[in-house]
Each structure stands twice: as structure tokens, then as C-alpha cells.
Amino acid sequence: MFRKIARWLVTISSFALVAEPGGASEATYAKATFAGGCFWCIEAAFDKTDGVKEAISGYTGGHKENPTYEEVSTGKTGHLEAVQIIYDPSRVGYEELLDIFWQQIDPTDSTGQFVDKGSQYRTAIFYHNDEQKHIAEESKRSLESSGRFDRPIVTEIRPAVTFYRAEEYHQDYYRKNESRYEFYRSRSGREQYRSPCAAGVCPVPGREKQPEEGGIDESELKARLTPLQYHVTREQGTERPFQNEYWDNKREGIYVDVVSGEVLFSSRDKFESGTGWPSFTRPLKPENIVERKDTGHGMVRTEVRSRSGGSHLGHVFDDGPLPTRQRYCMNSAALRFIPREDLRKEGYGEYEKYF
């Protein structure tokens, strides 16, 4: 069945704490569990999140002990495909994880997710403590009253129960089987889906910065952006090297998507590449970055887009400096720079800790 090449379920487990060895510097981790359809895709979304130690694909919510994938796929075990997340609460909050989850799913579909239909593909939030329950319930109510969706929100909020780790071949599937994963994702309907939350417009409790109402409207963008900004972000254009705003910017601060305002890069990871475009060794928020194969202009490259805004940002290459050896070569026209001293005023106060 086509869905056998797809799995995605987001499991964010709660505050079951795990201590990692290390004496005085030992870190305390929490759990979160989400179900969002095919767990391959949900695991991929959280794996790249700063502060997430591990995202594990598995099964939960059913009555069968130690179920196999084949058993869960019948829809008779009561289990949902899910992802359990082990994260550092001092680096990423439950609210942020919940925000990422809502962006991945269609919370109005009671029959599954995208091409994958069946009870095992339904969406759910499994809370691990009362605080997670409260945040999840408030978030769902906010979504329901936001008017962003034209159908009821059916994502369940349930207490966490035993989580069963899926077979090893399902773990990190998006990395171990990149071609098959991309084939599934592009044909499942998930890649094409644009969540009403994708521009960060859905209200999530605890988020300091709330985006503007209305989401992304192309006519509004044409009026708001300069011709060059629109050409770069919406038409996959490229600005001139050495003749752009940020190629030689040395001030401390963060770079956000000029369209959606989502956080992308930090000045701490910026370096002089000699190319004439702003270059970074890594994203500040990897979960806000989408990488795709680009075969245009007779070349094979990796395009970089913003997840929420869908903006074309530039390309990433494997010729950067240590420690990542990556060069994220971006267009200044796709970015907006927020100086360190203006972070709180602009609503990005949580990023002051990086400087």
C-alpha cells in the first residue's frame, strides 16, 4: 500500500525527566509526544530543532503490547504512529514544540493525514503532566477561535501512556533513505500542504512574538516587499554579489525571513566567504529551514527555503569552514536583520541569550 512508504506521527512526550551524566554540567531532559500521521516526516521536523536531543518514531495509545508495524498498520491495535521527543527545556520550550507540531498537520482531518488514511494516522497530543495538558488545551482553543480553519479541530489531547519504539529501519528514515522519503513526501500531499499556521499566524500560548493577522497573501506581499525582495523570495531570483545589504554586515544580531519573520540565522555563525553574499555555517533555527534539490541552470544544488514563509533564501554548499563544513549562501533581499540591541523591542527577546 502506498502508505507503507510513508509514516508520520508526532509524539512529543512530556516532562518525564532524564538526567545525562556529566557531573555539575549534567543536563536534565523532558519528554513530549505527538501523533501527526506518518512518523517519518514528524521525526524529521523535530530532529532538526535546536534543543532536541532525540526524536523517536514509535507507537502509542493502543491496547497491544510491543506491537509491530504490520500490526499497527491494520488499525486494530488502537495505536497511533507517533514521535517521542527528548528535549532540553532550557533551550526549547514545550510551547515551541507544540507550535512546530501544529505547522506539520491538518488538524481538521479525522480520517488520517493526507494520503494516509486509517485510525493509526490520526493526530493527537499526548501530555506528560498537567502543565503540558494546560498548554495544549489552551493552544487548541486558540486555534479553534482563530478562524484559520474552515472545519472543526479534531486533534485529540490525551494523557501519555506506554510508548513503544518502532523498528530500527523506521528511525531516521528521512536520512537513511533520503530518495524514498522525498518520493513519499512529495506524492503524499504533505509537501504541497500549506497549513494556515505555516506563516506562524496561529496563536500559541507562551510565544512572545505573535505575527500579523492574515497569513501570506501574494498581492499584499507585492505591495509590502521591494521588487527585488519579491523577485528573490517568490520567483527564486538571485541578487548581485557585493551589491546587497548584508554581505559585509558585521553587527551582532539575528536574521529573519523578510516575508514571515521566522528566525533563520545568527551573526555568530556568519563568516566571510568571499562570494559577495551573506554566508553562515548553520541555521540558528534548523526547524525553520527546508532544503530541496535544485536542478535549475544546468546544475545540481541544494536550495534553501524558509519553512513557514516558503521564501527562497539561497543555497547551501559543502565547502564551508569547520565545524559544519557548510556554507549557507543567502540573498540579503530574503532576510531582515534584527540588531542585538533591538531584539526585545522587535519581539525576539528570547534570542538575547545567544549574545
Residue 325, sorted as left (phi over 0), alpha (psi -120 to 50) or beta, turns out to be left
Look at residue 213 and tell me if it is in a domain: no
Look at residue 208 and tell me if it is in a domain: no
Tell me the three-class secondary structure of 238-253, residue by residue: CCCCCCCCCCCCCCCE
Same domain, 32 and 166: yes
Q: What pLDDT does 79 receive?
A: 98
Q: Which three cell numbers stand for residue 93?
A: 520550550
171, 188, 205 - which closes a domain: 188
Same domain, 178 and 35: yes
Same domain, 162 and 227: no
Same domain, 106 and 228: no
Look at residue 281 and tell me if it is in a domain: yes
Q: What pLDDT does 27 receive?
A: 55
Range of the domain at 311: 218-354
Q: For the whole model, what pTM was predicted?
A: 0.57
Q: What is the pLDDT along the chain (355 residues), one digit of tens a residue?
A: 444 433 333 333 344 445 544 433 345 899 999 999 999 999 998 988 888 999 999 999 999 999 999 999 999 999 999 999 999 998 889 988 998 899 899 999 999 999 999 999 999 999 999 999 999 998 898 888 877 788 899 999 999 999 999 999 999 999 999 888 888 888 888 877 777 765 444 544 433 333 333 445 677 788 889 999 999 999 999 999 999 999 999 999 999 999 988 899 999 999 999 999 999 999 998 888 888 888 877 888 999 999 888 899 999 999 999 988 999 999 999 999 999 999 988 888 888 888 9
Same domain, 241 and 103: no
- The three-class DSSP label of residue 57 is strand
135, 166, 188 - which closes a domain: 188
Q: Which of 41, 197, 202, 329 is catalytic?
A: 329
Q: What pLDDT does 284 receive?
A: 93
Same domain, 159 and 278: no
CB 123 within 8 A of CB 36: yes
Q: Cell match 501530555: residue?
A: 127
Same domain, 184 and 222: no
Whether 197 is catalytic = no
Same domain, 117 and 230: no
Look at residue 170 and tell me if it is in a domain: yes
Rounded Cα gap, residues 144 and 154, in angstroms: 10
Same domain, 293 and 249: yes
DSSP string of 58-98, one letter each residue: EEESSS-SS--HHHHHTT-S--EEEEEEEE-TTTS-HHHHH
Same domain, 170 and 264: no
Whether 41 is catalytic = no
- CATH number for the domain spanning 332: value is 2.170.150.20
Look at residue 240 and tell me if it is in a domain: yes
Look at residue 202 and tell me if it is in a domain: no
Report the chain's terminal Cα–Cα distance, integer Å: 50
> How many structural domains comprise the chain?
2
Q: What pLDDT does 331 receive?
A: 98
Q: Which of 38, 41, 197, 202 is catalytic?
A: 38
Q: What pLDDT does 37 receive?
A: 96
Q: What pLDDT does 160 receive?
A: 97
- CATH number for the domain spanning 166: value is 3.30.1060.10
Look at residue 204 and tell me if it is in a domain: no
Look at residue 247 and tell me if it is in a domain: yes
Element (H, E) at 41: helix 39-47
Q: Would you give the distance in Å from CA 114 to the centre of its chain?
A: 18
Same domain, 288 and 348: yes
Same domain, 184 and 300: no
